[in-house]
Amino acid sequence: MCEHCGCGLPGESHGHAGHDHHQHGHEHPHDHPHPHQDPYPVPPGPERRTVPVQEGILAKNDRLAERNRGYFLAKGVFVLNLLSSPGSGKTSLIERMAADLGRRLRLGVVVGDLATDNDARRLQAAGVPAVQITTGTVCHLDAEMVAGAIARLPLDQVDVLCIENVGNLVCPAAFDLGEGLRVVLMSVTEGEDKPLKYPTIFRDAGVVLLTKMDLAEAAGFDRDAALRNIRRAAPEAAILEVSARTGEGMQAWYETLDAARAGRAAAQA
Amino acid sequence: MHELSLMEQTLAIALQHAEREGASHIHQLTMRVGVLSGVVPDALRFAFDVLARGTMAEGAQLAIESVPIVARCARCNQEFEAADFFADCPRCGETATELRQGRELELASLEVS
């Protein structure tokens, strides 16, 4: 970083002509004695100085997320961070996964909402161990909240942990939770241009799930436009079309999930 | 909305550094905020005014430097400054680009005494 002004730029990348000490012209048209002395000197105090910091604001969250990640790895738990607008079908997706996968994979769930534990109770009713994080006014989950919540889950009996983030397409994008796979859901009733409106959250997705496909026709869903827009915002993500209600496309999602888990296991070995 | 929690973190980092420096007053905080960081500078300022009260940063200036988007083409490796998230490579037209810069969110420096 620049040593002259603390601006964060490399020193050679910008000039400092403006910082030179310049002389003030000082004419004395009168002839009385004129000592250049401040009649009210400021008592000598600590001088103003610039302290370089260059620290990421999210550094603490990122550290805690890495700690979570290590903990999940040690416990053999694969973690999904599920992100979407409110009402895109995150809870329904998890319910369906519990019903379909229950025999071979044990699920656990952490649910974030501003208020109520309705979602956690819904999932517990489906036989899934679930803990609710009620965030109050906070619009996202962070790594510390997740660390607190997983202490209340029997992680030794969990293979796949689904973290259902607060329904919000803006704020949760910035917070790594320690997940192994980031999944963004978008339902066919939401409008095909959502990825263009909220590109940041789509950009980091490993998988984008187009949900409620059973309603596509009724909603007049423009599939080509949606796929094009998702591809534009998330060039790397796998895109899958699913319906938690009918089960359409769920098998492909499970195969993707298995591949992601296997990939991580391979990386670990 | 998450600007409040981000500013809490920023202030915590600032106070920690100022204390380490033996400072008693923070006059200015300079932040670098990427165009794609998802953070609204005005919301940061509002949060700062509220949170700095009663700390040694009360009344300090909050300077926010905007960091432009720089992307690199996945095909021809050209680096270029982009106006928004969806800029194509100006050299070869490729749409798949890797973000090199523009999501920064950091406290760059402090002015203390």
For the whole model, what pTM was predicted?
0.81
For A40, the 3-state DSSP assignment is coil
pLDDT value at position A190? 94
Average pLDDT estimate for B87-107: 89
Percentage of chain A beyond pLDDT 70 is: 81
Cβ distance of B109 and A57 shorter than 8 Å:
no
For A146-165, how does the pLDDT look when each residue is reduced to its tens digit (9 = 90+)? 999 999 999 999 999 999 99
Average pLDDT estimate for A192-211: 94
For A107-135, how does the pLDDT look when each residue is reduced to its tens digit (9 = 90+)? 999 999 888 888 888 888 888 999 999 88
CATH number of this structure's domain A59-268: 3.40.50.300
Asked if B71 contacts B79 with a C-beta cutoff of 8 angstroms, the reply is yes
Average pLDDT estimate for A228-244: 94
Q: Is the pLDDT of residue A58 over 60?
A: yes
Sorted by where each begins, the domain ranges of chain A are 59-268
Could you tell me the residue range of the domain that residue B32 belongs to? 3-112
Chain A's closest residue to B36, CA to CA, is A200
For A238-264, how does the pLDDT look when each residue is reduced to its tens digit (9 = 90+)? 999 999 999 999 999 999 999 999 987
Angstrom distances, CA of residue B26 to CA of A5, A195, A232, B48, B61: 16, 41, 44, 13, 9
Give residues 8 to 47 of B whose Cβ lies within 8 Å of A: 9-10, 13-14, 17-18, 21, 23-24, 27, 30-32, 36-39
Please, what is the average pLDDT of chain A? 86
Distance from the B1 Cα atom to the nearest Cα atom in chain A, whole angstroms? 7
In chain B, what's the furthest Cα-to-Cα distance? 54
CB neighbours (10 Å) of residue A154? Answer: 10
Q: Is the pLDDT of residue A2 over 50?
A: no
Structural domain count, chain B = 1
CATH code where residue B22 lies: 3.30.2320.80
More confident residue, A136 or B26: B26
With CA atoms as reference, report the closest residue to A8 among B106, B13, B36, B7. Answer: B106
